[in-house]
Amino acid sequence: MQVSVIAVGKVKDRYINEGIAEYEKRLRPYADLNIVEVREERIPNRASPAEEAQVVEREGERICTVVPDNAVLVALDLRGEAWSSEDLASRLRSWEIEGAHEIAFVIGGPLGLSPAVLDRARVTLSLSRMTFLHTMVRLILLEQIYRGFRIMRGEPYHK
Protein backbone atom coordinates (compact mmCIF):
# COMPACT_ATOMS: atom_id res chain seq x y z
CA MET A 1 0.00 0.00 0.00
CA GLN A 2 1.18 3.51 -0.82
CA VAL A 3 0.71 6.05 1.97
CA SER A 4 1.20 9.70 1.16
CA VAL A 5 1.38 12.51 3.67
CA ILE A 6 0.81 15.81 1.90
CA ALA A 7 1.63 18.78 4.08
CA VAL A 8 1.84 22.53 3.76
CA GLY A 9 5.25 23.95 4.60
CA LYS A 10 8.62 22.60 5.64
CA VAL A 11 9.60 21.21 9.02
CA LYS A 12 12.43 23.33 10.40
CA ASP A 13 12.79 21.85 13.90
CA ARG A 14 15.51 19.21 14.08
CA TYR A 15 13.78 17.18 16.79
CA ILE A 16 10.60 16.89 14.70
CA ASN A 17 12.59 15.91 11.60
CA GLU A 18 14.41 13.23 13.60
CA GLY A 19 11.09 11.80 14.80
CA ILE A 20 9.68 11.85 11.26
CA ALA A 21 12.77 10.02 9.98
CA GLU A 22 12.36 7.38 12.69
CA TYR A 23 8.74 6.67 11.74
CA GLU A 24 9.57 6.70 8.02
CA LYS A 25 12.05 3.91 8.80
CA ARG A 26 9.56 2.00 10.97
CA LEU A 27 6.85 2.20 8.30
CA ARG A 28 8.98 0.69 5.50
CA PRO A 29 7.89 -2.92 6.14
CA TYR A 30 4.21 -1.94 6.04
CA ALA A 31 3.78 0.67 3.32
CA ASP A 32 5.55 2.76 0.72
CA LEU A 33 5.60 6.18 2.35
CA ASN A 34 5.72 9.36 0.33
CA ILE A 35 5.91 12.73 2.09
CA VAL A 36 5.05 15.67 -0.15
CA GLU A 37 5.52 19.25 0.99
CA VAL A 38 3.69 22.06 -0.75
CA ARG A 39 4.78 25.64 -0.38
CA GLU A 40 3.26 27.55 2.52
CA GLU A 41 1.68 30.84 1.54
CA ARG A 42 2.85 33.90 3.46
CA ILE A 43 0.15 35.24 5.76
CA PRO A 44 0.09 39.05 5.78
CA ASN A 45 0.43 40.77 9.16
CA ARG A 46 -3.01 41.54 10.54
CA ALA A 47 -4.60 39.64 7.67
CA SER A 48 -8.27 40.24 7.11
CA PRO A 49 -10.61 37.23 6.92
CA ALA A 50 -10.66 37.68 3.12
CA GLU A 51 -6.85 37.62 2.96
CA GLU A 52 -6.75 34.53 5.17
CA ALA A 53 -9.29 32.85 2.88
CA GLN A 54 -7.06 33.62 -0.11
CA VAL A 55 -4.06 32.07 1.65
CA VAL A 56 -6.00 28.89 2.41
CA GLU A 57 -7.37 28.76 -1.15
CA ARG A 58 -3.90 29.07 -2.73
CA GLU A 59 -2.50 26.37 -0.47
CA GLY A 60 -5.51 24.21 -1.31
CA GLU A 61 -4.85 24.60 -5.03
CA ARG A 62 -1.27 23.41 -4.49
CA ILE A 63 -2.48 20.44 -2.45
CA CYS A 64 -5.04 19.43 -5.09
CA THR A 65 -2.36 19.30 -7.78
CA VAL A 66 -0.34 16.66 -5.86
CA VAL A 67 -3.13 14.41 -4.52
CA PRO A 68 -3.11 11.19 -6.54
CA ASP A 69 -6.35 10.77 -8.50
CA ASN A 70 -7.33 7.37 -7.10
CA ALA A 71 -6.17 7.89 -3.52
CA VAL A 72 -8.43 7.66 -0.52
CA LEU A 73 -8.09 11.23 0.72
CA VAL A 74 -8.06 11.78 4.48
CA ALA A 75 -8.07 15.46 5.45
CA LEU A 76 -6.86 16.36 8.92
CA ASP A 77 -9.10 19.02 10.40
CA LEU A 78 -10.02 20.06 13.92
CA ARG A 79 -13.71 19.55 13.07
CA GLY A 80 -13.19 16.01 11.76
CA GLU A 81 -14.09 12.64 13.23
CA ALA A 82 -12.15 11.56 16.30
CA TRP A 83 -10.78 8.03 15.94
CA SER A 84 -8.95 5.75 18.29
CA SER A 85 -5.78 4.02 17.10
CA GLU A 86 -7.89 0.87 16.71
CA ASP A 87 -10.35 2.80 14.52
CA LEU A 88 -7.49 3.89 12.27
CA ALA A 89 -6.24 0.29 12.04
CA SER A 90 -9.76 -0.84 11.12
CA ARG A 91 -10.03 1.81 8.40
CA LEU A 92 -6.63 0.90 6.98
CA ARG A 93 -7.73 -2.75 6.84
CA SER A 94 -11.06 -1.92 5.19
CA TRP A 95 -9.39 0.28 2.58
CA GLU A 96 -6.90 -2.50 1.89
CA ILE A 97 -9.74 -5.03 1.50
CA GLU A 98 -11.64 -2.78 -0.89
CA GLY A 99 -8.51 -2.56 -3.03
CA ALA A 100 -7.34 0.96 -2.28
CA HIS A 101 -3.72 1.15 -3.40
CA GLU A 102 -3.06 4.62 -2.04
CA ILE A 103 -4.12 6.55 1.03
CA ALA A 104 -3.30 10.28 1.12
CA PHE A 105 -3.38 12.11 4.42
CA VAL A 106 -3.45 15.90 4.04
CA ILE A 107 -2.22 18.38 6.64
CA GLY A 108 -2.97 22.04 6.08
CA GLY A 109 -1.00 25.09 7.07
CA PRO A 110 -1.54 27.31 10.11
CA LEU A 111 -4.94 28.43 8.79
CA GLY A 112 -6.19 24.93 7.97
CA LEU A 113 -7.46 23.38 4.74
CA SER A 114 -9.45 24.94 1.95
CA PRO A 115 -13.08 23.97 1.33
CA ALA A 116 -11.94 22.47 -2.00
CA VAL A 117 -9.65 20.00 -0.20
CA LEU A 118 -12.21 19.23 2.51
CA ASP A 119 -14.91 18.62 -0.12
CA ARG A 120 -12.65 16.25 -2.02
CA ALA A 121 -11.80 14.24 1.11
CA ARG A 122 -13.40 10.89 1.70
CA VAL A 123 -12.83 11.29 5.43
CA THR A 124 -12.13 14.27 7.65
CA LEU A 125 -10.12 13.23 10.67
CA SER A 126 -9.24 15.08 13.87
CA LEU A 127 -6.19 13.91 15.80
CA SER A 128 -7.37 15.87 18.82
CA ARG A 129 -9.55 18.78 19.80
CA MET A 130 -6.32 20.45 20.90
CA THR A 131 -4.37 22.62 18.49
CA PHE A 132 -0.89 21.45 17.48
CA LEU A 133 1.84 23.04 15.41
CA HIS A 134 1.04 21.91 11.88
CA THR A 135 4.62 20.67 11.53
CA MET A 136 4.26 18.55 14.69
CA VAL A 137 1.09 16.98 13.31
CA ARG A 138 3.27 15.18 10.74
CA LEU A 139 5.14 13.36 13.46
CA ILE A 140 1.99 12.53 15.43
CA LEU A 141 0.25 11.29 12.27
CA LEU A 142 3.17 9.08 11.21
CA GLU A 143 3.31 7.54 14.68
CA GLN A 144 -0.41 6.78 14.50
CA ILE A 145 -0.16 5.30 10.99
CA TYR A 146 2.66 3.06 12.21
CA ARG A 147 0.64 2.07 15.27
CA GLY A 148 -2.37 1.40 13.02
CA PHE A 149 -0.40 -0.99 10.80
CA ARG A 150 0.98 -2.81 13.86
CA ILE A 151 -2.53 -3.20 15.29
CA MET A 152 -3.91 -4.25 11.89
CA ARG A 153 -1.28 -7.00 11.62
CA GLY A 154 -1.84 -8.17 15.20
CA GLU A 155 1.67 -7.15 16.22
CA PRO A 156 2.50 -5.66 19.61
CA TYR A 157 3.19 -1.98 19.53
CA HIS A 158 4.98 -1.34 22.79
CA LYS A 159 8.41 -2.89 23.28
In a domain, 157, yes or no: no
Judge whether 105 is annotated as a binding position: no
In a domain, 128, yes or no: yes
HSE toward the beta carbon, residue 142, CA cutoff 13 A = 25
In a domain, 158, yes or no: no
Q: Which domain holds residue 6?
A: 2-41+49-152
Q: Is the pLDDT of residue 66 over 70?
A: yes
- The CATH number of whichever domain residue 80 belongs to comes to 3.40.1280.10
In sequence order, the 6+-apart residues with CB closer than 8 A to the CB of 24 are 33, 35, 142
pLDDT of residue 51: 94
Q: Is the pLDDT of residue 159 over 60?
A: no
Q: Is the pLDDT of residue 18 over 80?
A: yes
Judge whether 108 is annotated as a binding position: yes
Average pLDDT, the chain: 94
Rounded to two decimals, what is the model's pTM? 0.94
At 109, is the pLDDT very low, low, confident or very high (cuts 50, 70, 90)?
Answer: very high
The arithmetic mean of pLDDT across residues 9-23, rounded, is 96
Judge whether 113 is annotated as a binding position: no
3-state secondary structure of 13: coil
Which uninterrupted H or E stretch holds 82? Answer: strand 72-82
Judge whether 46 is annotated as a binding position: no
Which uninterrupted H or E stretch holds 34? Answer: strand 32-38
pLDDT of residue 157: 78
In a domain, 60, yes or no: yes
Judge whether 142 is annotated as a binding position: no
- Count: domains in the chain: 1
What's the rounded Cα separation, in Å, for the pair 26 and 7?
20
Judge whether 114 is annotated as a binding position: no
In sequence order, the 6+-apart residues with CB closer than 8 A to the CB of 38 are 6, 7, 8, 9, 59, 62, 63, 66
Judge whether 76 is annotated as a binding position: yes
Judge whether 128 is annotated as a binding position: yes
The arithmetic mean of pLDDT across residues 69-75, rounded, is 95
> What would the pLDDT profile of 118-156 be if each residue is shown by its tens digit?
999 999 999 998 888 888 999 999 999 999 999 999 998
3-state secondary structure of 33: strand
In a domain, 91, yes or no: yes
pLDDT of residue 158: 67
pLDDT of residue 131: 86
Contact 158, 111 (CB under 8 A): no
